[in-house]
Structure 1
Amino acid sequence: MLLLYILGIRVYHVIILIFSLFNSKAKLFIRGRKNLFNEIKQQVDAGEKHVWFHFASLGEFEQGRPVLEKLKVLFPAKKIVVTFFSPSGYEIRKNYALADVFYLPIDTAHNARRFLDLINPEMAIFTKYEFWHFYFKELKNRNIPLYVISGIFRPNQVFFKWYGGFYRQILKAVSYFFVQNEESKRLLNSIGLFNAMVSGDTRFDRVYENAKSPKKLTKVEAFIGNSPTLICGSTWPEDENLLSALPEKYPDWKFIIAPHEIHESHIESIEKQFPIGSVRFSVLNSNNQTPNAEYQTLIVDNIGMLSSLYQYGKLAYIGGGFGAGIHNTLEAAAFGLPVIFGPKYDKFQEAKDLIILSVAKSISAGDELLTAFESFAANEIARIAAKKYVGDKKGATDKIISTIIQPNQP
């Protein structure tokens, strides 16, 4: 199985190399790893101990960020190294002030040894998932504590299959699991791993703090005026196709669309689906005058505004539910927004919870979107319940920190 794993890593790398010839993300993936070890050597003092945080992408960074920042507050002298697997995380957070930020070198035995030699970690913290054989093995060989935070496991994962022995061995390198729910803990127990605590999801801490002091967006405020507003976050073409019917049916509402992908062809596609009364944020922002009242739909053509946009909404639509899975519903719920999303939400416990609480609805077609929209449009009870749900679930960060710092007190 190890040989198959090594082969799989190499094949994946070759595929990315091929895709990099015409795909911008793949190009960033390859380019970002060129001369990577020299870059790390120049920026990181191997003579000092570091705390290593690894995130798959931007979503996992925001999820694990409360732990990183709380650790830095408690121990400001600690040096932190952050790695990302995906360009969508690295490119957005490469200038993050609290850490040295790099791409994660591809998982090979040589890379794992060389990387750990360079960053000299006193502990490693992985958020939610990504379980790399050689990195985990090397951490264990060096007796470096390895923590998985906000972990979540499902019965259909390879770890819990009869043929998953190799992957179960990877999990055995983890010093402690901080998981989101009881099911995850039971699954780990079922394969002989009892080093687990149900600490909850650190995303609740992140979105709760964000909702307390969001960034003020004056141009957005001027665009909205006194109109009720639907915030459409991280949308994909399938989502936008359904949403395009709403502005005409609800002329008194404003609509803000913050798509997951902001390349020019996608923005142009959205403009074609919302041809009347739509404007790009970049155009609005470059105009010193007050936005014209005729604008009904604002298309956000940048990255980084979404978490602050929700403060201006009355209702939210979360994209991704017609693809791999929905994006972050908690950012909206933290502001007291009921949420609507597509059918693929089964991997997200918070989405299931919100549906049970009647503050979220899953839809599969346009008529269902209209029904959900109308049911939430003036539902103040749902707004209160959404905000309370987030407030009740916060606290995972403190549980994690209090456990991992005990053997590392100064």
Structure 2
Amino acid sequence: MSHGVARAALTAYRIAGAIAYPLLGPYVGWRAAHGKEEAGRRRERYGFAGAARPAGPLVWVHAASVGESSAVAPLVRQIAAQNIQIVMTTGTVTSAALVRERLAGTVIHQYVPLDLKPSVARFLDHWHPDVAIVAESEIWPMTMLELGRRRIPQILVNARLSDRSFRRWKAAPALAEALLENLSHVVAQSDIDGERYHLLGARTVSVAGNLKADTSPPPHDPLTLRLFTDAIGARPVWAAVSTHAGEEDIAAAVHSALKPLHPRLLTVIVPRHAERADALEKTFVAKGLKVVRRSAGVLPGPDTDILLGDSMGEMGLYLRLSEIAFVGRSLSAEGGQNPLEAAMLGTAILSGRFVQNFRDSYQRLLKNGGARLVQDEAMLRDLVGQLLSQPDLRHRMISAADRTVGEMQGGLARTMQALDPFLNPLRLSMGLDGHGDRTGGPR
């Protein structure tokens, strides 16, 4: 693809967006009706502000979903500690709840505007960000082009590129370069990610490591944890978390196979998408398993087979109930899920082979002995059984996982160092004019 064709493609994208813009109301309304949008805040998706812009320098931080929001939370706190105002956008209801819970009083939260010129322009006209910081792999063409046109520095932090995304962008190198040339700096998670962004046309790339290693473990309610641990007692427990379709059936089969050897076995299953819980419960019951759902507010009894974790924001609870965790989207689905939360919370980690989205984390965990990969249901059954029967092996894996997280820390400090050339002018502006008032008209 030539540069001319790439520019034409971006122009066509902009025109298509302009045509579609008047037709998006029903789509956003449908999402609100199904709980995927906050009905009272739908206008934010069109760039209409839900709050006034504060005086002084302002940074726009965008984190698409829960994982990205959690990863950048410590970064956001460090920027806010410099008296720099922050408007933080997310794209999901669950990530908005996380921001309210962990960053209340630190940021102004808004839903990210749709990647259409009217929405993006309206958002930027109101907020006038001095710097835009985007987490991980969010590449929205119209947003990037509009920020570039306004000469607002854009930095991609904790950046990663999956194998699939890299192949897709590599097939259109001119288009990739036309977008990535708008980035002032890419702060990558790993050497592989950094090299990929460089090959695709990013001008300035550095490697800082994974911000997730510098986050706090997922929170939990101590009283709730005590109620569950008292109810479970000394029963053997293992967990399958962040599971995708097919993996819950595998976990249930593993439970049934191991129960004769561990008669009091409890299996905790936490699907990635809680809305699948009704169907999963029916499937488990049809297999003769006794199920307790977290959303029902009932504690597991002595004869409970499956604790179905169908609540939001309680991964910290579920992982604290077991010392063995299978991390999903890795056997019947591809890409993997973040294993570092499980590593932080004292579990021996098992996963399928398809973990390319978290390659660096898994490579480190495997090297240290904190994680093991399984090829199929039989191998998962054997390893879970081995870990249940051999506490010494289980605790060696737990210690290795914890050590791995410690070795991976430091990404936050390195990322802040990479951001300093963009934040320092904002600090200087506050010193020069007393308050750094930047609420003037459009640029």
What TM bracket, shorter-length normalisation?
0.7 to 0.9
Give 1 or 2 for the bigger CA radius of gyration.
Answer: 2
Q: Distance in 2 between matches of 1:3 and 1:153?
A: 25
Q: Is the Cα–Cα contact under 8 Å of residues 62 and 90 in structure 2 kept in the other structure?
A: yes
Q: Is the Cα–Cα contact under 8 Å of residues 348 and 401 in structure 2 kept in the other structure?
A: yes
Q: CA deviation at 1:139?
A: 2.2
1:142-175: per-residue Cα shift (whole Å, max 9, x none)? 3322211111235662675253212212111111
Q: Distance in 2 between matches of 1:23 and 1:110?
A: 20
Distance 1:337 1:13, change over 3 A: farther
Distance 1:30 1:300, change over 3 A: closer
Counterpart pick for 1:301 among 297, 305, 310: 310
Partner of 2:112: 104
Q: CA deviation at 1:205?
A: 0.8
Partner of 2:161: 153
Are 1:346 and 2:346 matched, yes or no? no
Partner of 1:403: 418
How many residues were matched structurally?
401
SS state at 1:244 partner = helix
Q: Distance in 2 between matches of 1:24 and 1:41?
A: 18
Write out aligned runs for 1:277-296 (5 A).
277-285=290-298, 292-296=301-305
Write out aligned runs for 1:62-77 (5 A).
62-72=70-80, 74-75=81-82, 77=83
1:31-82: per-residue Cα shift (whole Å, max 9, x none)? 576322798535122654322111121111112222112323x22x432211
| Structure 2 residue runs without a partner (length 5+) | 1-8, 429-443
Partner of 2:212: 203
Partner of 2:90: 84
Partner of 2:378: 367
Write out aligned runs for 1:170-181 (5 A).
170-181=179-190
Higher relative contact order structure (alpha carbons within 8 Å, sequence separation ≥ 6): 2
Q: CA deviation at 1:282?
A: 3.7
Q: Distance in 1 between matches of 2:311 and 2:185?
A: 38
- TM-score norm. by structure 1 comes to 0.85
Counterpart pick for 1:382 among 352, 375, 397: 397
Q: CA deviation at 1:16?
A: 7.7
1:84 partner amino acid: T
SS state at 1:237 partner = coil
1:359 partner amino acid: G
1:248-277: per-residue Cα shift (whole Å, max 9, x none)? 323243222222222352353354266444
Q: Percent identity?
A: 20
Distance 1:57 1:38, change over 3 A: closer
Q: Distance in 2 between matches of 1:165 and 1:155?
A: 19
Counterpart pick for 2:248 among 234, 240, 258: 240
Partner of 2:123: 115
Q: CA deviation at 1:294?
A: 2.6
SS state at 1:106 partner = coil
Q: CA deviation at 1:133?
A: 2.2
1:374 partner amino acid: G
SS state at 2:11 partner = helix
Partner of 1:126: 134
Partner of 1:265: 278
Q: CA deviation at 1:218?
A: 1.7
Q: CA deviation at 1:107?
A: 1.5
| Structure 1 residue runs without a partner (length 5+) | none
- Name the structure where helix makes up a greater proportion of residues: 2
1:337 partner amino acid: T
1:107-135: per-residue Cα shift (whole Å, max 9, x none)? 12332222112112121111101112222
Q: CA deviation at 1:27?
A: 6.4
SS state at 2:342 partner = helix
Two-structure CA RMSD over aligned residues (Å): 3.2
1:368-394: per-residue Cα shift (whole Å, max 9, x none)? 211221343331221211111111101
Write out aligned runs for 1:298-337 (5 A).
298-321=307-330, 322-337=332-347
SS state at 1:351 partner = helix
Q: Is the Cα–Cα contact under 8 Å of residues 277 and 297 in structure 1 kept in the other structure?
A: yes
Partner of 2:265: 253
Partner of 2:433: none
Q: CA deviation at 1:333?
A: 1.2
Distance 1:277 1:332, change over 3 A: same
Q: CA deviation at 1:26?
A: 6.7
SS state at 1:210 partner = coil
1:233 partner amino acid: V
Partner of 2:173: 164
Distance 1:20 1:138, change over 3 A: closer
Q: CA deviation at 1:313?
A: 1.5
Q: CA deviation at 1:315?
A: 0.6
